[in-house]
Amino acid sequence: MRSAPSPSHHDREVIALVGLAHGTSHFFHLMLPALFPWLMAEFSLSYTDVGLLTATFFVISGVGQALAGFVVDRVGARRVLMFGVAMLALSGIVLALSNSYRLLVLTAAIAGIGNSIFHPADFWLLNHRVSQPRLGHAFSVHGLSGNIGWAVAPVFMATTAATAGWHVAGLCAATAATIALAVLWKRRQQLAYPTEARAATAQHEPADPTRHFAFLSSTAVWLSFWFFFVTTMAFGILQNFAPAILREVYGVSLVTATAGLTAYLIGSGAGMIVGGFVADRGDRMVAVALGIAALMSAIIASGSMPALALWPLMAGMGFGVGMAGPGRDLLVRRAATSRFGRGAFGRIYGFVYSGLDTGQALSPLLFGPMLDAGRFRQTLAAVAIFQAAGIVTALRVGSRVRARARLADDGRAPTLASAEKPI
């Protein structure tokens, strides 16, 4: 008889499977943007037209993410995760068959629906299927896999489009998602939630359906949403405009400026690895990491540094943001369980992480006009301001969680039945 896999082996496999799904979702973030030069030429599109495609993706993803959390809590994450990857594959097929701008919009909409399920499904699985001591590393790998998806997509899509055409690139993206779906299906038992565990979780679910929305009365949940919003606004500026900003502020070539963004992403990946080892130190660690990022941002925004310093400064900023990631995810877990228990993971993670999509959708709309007006240094300063706002928000979430823990120790913490009352 084959022996049962060890808990550590099971944890590693779940982390790897969820990481594969998350990396696939981030790949599809950039499936269309990587092809903009070809699509604009093919369909005579303006920057406004292609910007609408990006906005369509993130608006649908953000709204869908908040709703998907309820579905995850209801039916579990495995089937929802499979659905999301299948929708991403479908979006690649629609892209490959597109012969009009309308079909490109449909591609963005389908991809947005697929992307909407990943944060509630991923974090539901990690929190339910990975042992507590390894959660910090699980969140680290989750964030790192997303960065890898971002890094691979532009190279893969652009290279394929240049050699075989953008229609083939869409088909190849669909193939990549189909392969990921096949792997998840083959190893689906590793993502299953045991019946007895599901029953134990269901016992803590409120009998009154309206209580499923009780988390919206929690100040800690709203602060967590705000944390993701402000930090993603900062990242959105860098992701969309960093090469142009650095070129204008420091007078460097576009290649050097683009390499600065690459340095940021590499630093972010390194920070996520380190963050997995210190994630359990809570909000103070997140604040310190974001403090490093905000300091680097402010130094760059000064415009007084030599061009050679751009790469290490951008890498340092990315390191701070990446290091904060695993601790940030654990902070949301504590905010959720301190009041609503494990049965609310899906809807709380779904709502809180919709702040990411909101920030991604609004950032280029708010700061594009500033750049058009030539305010490049002011836009860089906004990055530091948003990261500083993330520090304050993280500390406030942590203080709320600790206050609730003290109430629980004293036997005075309200139960789910009184969850409408904010802490």
354 assigned to some structural domain: yes
169 assigned to some structural domain: yes
Residues 354, 421 contacting (CB under 8 angstroms): no
CA distances to 40, 95, 168 from 162, rounded to whole Å, are: 14, 16, 10
141 assigned to some structural domain: yes
413 assigned to some structural domain: no
Which residues span the domain enclosing 347?
Answer: 217-406
Out of 272-276, 400-404, 414-418, least confident range: 414-418
Q: Please indicate, yes or no, whether residues 257 and 138 belong to a single structural domain of this protein.
A: no
CA dist., res. 65 & res. 78, Å (int): 16
Q: Provide the pLDDT for residue 235.
A: 83
Q: Residue 334 maps to which CATH number? A: 1.20.1250.20
Q: Report pLDDT digits (tens) over 361-406.
A: 888 778 878 888 888 899 889 999 999 998 888 888 777 777 766 6
Q: Report pLDDT digits (tens) over 221-232.
A: 888 888 889 888
144 assigned to some structural domain: yes
Q: Which two tokens stand for residue 237?
A: 């500026």
| pTM of the shown model | 0.76
CA dist., res. 55 & res. 235, Å (int): 16
Q: Please indicate, yes or no, whether residues 290 and 332 belong to a single structural domain of this protein.
A: yes
Q: Please indicate, yes or no, whether residues 169 and 254 belong to a single structural domain of this protein.
A: no
Q: Please indicate, yes or no, whether residues 236 and 307 belong to a single structural domain of this protein.
A: yes
Q: Please indicate, yes or no, whether residues 115 and 231 belong to a single structural domain of this protein.
A: no
User: How many domains are contained in the chain?
Assistant: 2
205 assigned to some structural domain: no
Can you tell me the mean pLDDT for 319-330? 85
Statement: residue 211 has pLDDT above 90: no
Q: Provide the pLDDT for residue 331.
A: 76
Q: Which two tokens stand for residue 80?
A: 């929802």
Q: How confident is the model at residue 315 (pLDDT cuts 50, 70, 90)?
A: very high
Instruction: List all residues 6 or more positions away from 373 whose beta carbon is below 8 Å from its beta carbon.
Output: none
Residues 190, 326 contacting (CB under 8 angstroms): no
Q: Report pLDDT digits (tens) over 58-77.
A: 889 988 988 888 888 888 88
Q: Provide the pLDDT for residue 364.
A: 77
CA dist., res. 78 & res. 18, Å (int): 10
Q: 27-36, 168-177, 181-190, 237-246 — which one is most confidently predicted on average? A: 168-177
Can you tell me the mean pLDDT for 340-348? 70
Q: Please indicate, yes or no, whether residues 330 and 270 belong to a single structural domain of this protein.
A: yes
CA dist., res. 394 & res. 340, Å (int): 19
Q: Please indicate, yes or no, whether residues 252 and 142 belong to a single structural domain of this protein.
A: no
